[in-house]
Amino acid sequence: MNPWHHGAAPISTAVASGRVQLVSIRQGAVAQARLRIIWLSLAFAFIILVAMLRIAYLGMGGETTRATSLEEALLPTRGEIVDRNGVPLARAFPAYALWFNPEALGPGSDPLVRSPDVVAAKLKAIFPDLDEGRIEAQLASGRQGYIRRRLLPEEANRVQDIGELALEMPMENDRHYPQGSMGAHVLGYVGADGKGRVGMEQVLDAELTDPARRGTPQTLSIDVRVQGALEDELRRGMKLTDAQGAAGIVLDVDTGEVLALASLPEFDPNKIDKRGQELMFNRVTNQVYELGSTFKPLSVAAAIDAGTVRDFGRRYDASPVKVGRFSIKDSHAMGPTLNVVETLIHSSNTVTARIADELGPERLRQTMIDLGMNERPYIELPAKGFPLWPGEKWPRLRSMTVSYGHGIAVTPLHLASAYAAMVNGGIWRPATLHRLAPGDVPQGRRVFKASTSSRMRQLMRAISIYGTGRNGDAPGYRVGGKTGSAEKPGVGGYRRSALVSTFAAAFPMDRPRYVVIAMLDEPRGTIASSFQRTAAWNAAPIVGRLVPRIGPLIGVRPDDSRDIDISSITPLIPEARKGTE
């Protein structure tokens, strides 16, 4: 008997059992694989379902790509502002910003490799005007935020070389003003929230951000050549007289378009800091002044229009005017009597007051209302000062003082619009900062008769030839204008040491095209101004220098062969008679 025979059965049984176990393992593995496939299929199906639902939501929710999306993507985030000749004044452009991210290296970790004082010093070396102490405090506190806006590419490269990951430089859409501070009070600026502030940036905010309109530049009436010349001459006048501030405007007499508007000191819209915030007040449209003798031509025009002044040769008493306990005097003796022409040439308060007295308070008040003197100035800018208006009923004394520019305070823009009406044929029109097409010029309202306007042009020219406006004349440009020097009011009365000096002019007087206003706030007598503080010596020369600079640019060329005919009034002017003797 084979000795191995007895063990064969157990071995066979073991092999069979192993095979069964192997089959079971394989079946379990297959079942588990199938289960995994099912779960993966379900997950994939869920993802597809979510994607389909998202697509359906976008289709029904109005978030589909619009036909203009490419156009919008190519447009700047904010539209351009240009001058009347298409020169850019404000535009959007991409720029780097410097941002401190305290979590750049992960939450809870120190954001800086170097100490805050070292990093702040390195940034100061790149940006000399940076407040190093403030930046060091920001870095040390771990407070995220902007360190600086509007970096130049070379500045961004130097910041990158510092090697601090927490100093991030995101690319942003910025607002750039290519002309710098020029026209700052006209343009305003754009705040960090993307909204326009102060000037036309605020006025045109909707147009500049509307996708349907921001592709078309917004054209202003401003001419950058005239704007630059005006600011330059006002700045020069300020320095020569050590004045506190200055204001000026160049206005088209027939349309009301503002070719230049300047308030000094100015701010830089490219860099709005604390100092810039303090300088945003607009002296042309927001500050009201007693503009003194510049009101005298308006009062005389009202009297001519009403018929109370018919004969320019009539002699008026030039002695002090006593009304109750008050007395109106002239700055210096001008003789016992004066005619109308002499009154304006020598700037007599007393005779102007007597002319206004004959006109009457009601008619003078109505003329001032017709000239808009009782309302905020008409212009698009948001900051517009309300006049200090004498009220409903003007007593006799009030009418007299208003006639020579005291007891009423208005903006220089009020005066510019009034002078435009006085010389353009008698039509008052609102000022505008929009360039107007010929068909868009407002009809305006008649304030003076055309004949009155014609007479006033003669008188204004005579002032510049023979009177206080001599220093405002420019050879060949036929300038006519009136000076005004008024003390500023203060606590307890007028401040004799603080003057507002103004020269209001128009040119050329044979066919007026433009009004020019130049005003100095608190000029001081210096060697350059011959120690004189009055407008004849400081404000008038500004216009005398400005007109030859801007005339050829705006269609007025010098011509010594022509002038307005004032031969009918020269016999009434002693200075003119002396010249012919």
In this structure, are strands 88-100 and 167-168 parallel, antiparallel, or unpaired? antiparallel
| Buried-exposed string 286-297: b where 16+ CB fall within 10 A, e elsewhere | bbbbbbbbbbbb
SS3 category, 483: strand
* b/e sequence 194-221, b meaning 16+ C-beta within 10 Å: eebbbbbbbbbbeebeeeeebeebbbbb
Q: Judge whether 294 and 504 are in contact, CB under 8 Å.
A: yes
With left for phi above 0 and alpha for psi between -120 and 50, is residue 372 left, alpha or beta?
left
Is 109 an active-site residue? no
Angle of helix 296-306 relative to helix 361-370, nearest 10 degrees, comes to 110
> DSSP E strands: which ranges in 241-355?
245-252, 258-264, 316-317, 321-323, 326-328, 337-338
15's tokens = 């092999």
Q: Count how many Cα atoms sit within 13 Å of the Cα of residue 268 in the half-sphere of its side chain.
A: 8
Catalytic residue among 181, 221, 263, 293: 293
Amino acid at 116: P
% helix / strand / coil in the chain, to the nearest 5? 40, 20, 40
Element (H, E) at 500: strand 493-507
- As a whole number of angstroms, the distance between CA 117 and CA 373 comes to 58
| Residue 341: φ, ψ to 5° | -65, -45
The C-alpha atoms of residue 109 and residue 2 are separated, in whole angstroms, by 82
In angstroms, the Cα distances linking 538 to 96, 237, 384, 508, 522 are 45, 7, 26, 21, 11
CA–CA gap between residue 482 and residue 295 (Å, rounded):
9
- Please identify every residue annotated as catalytic: 293
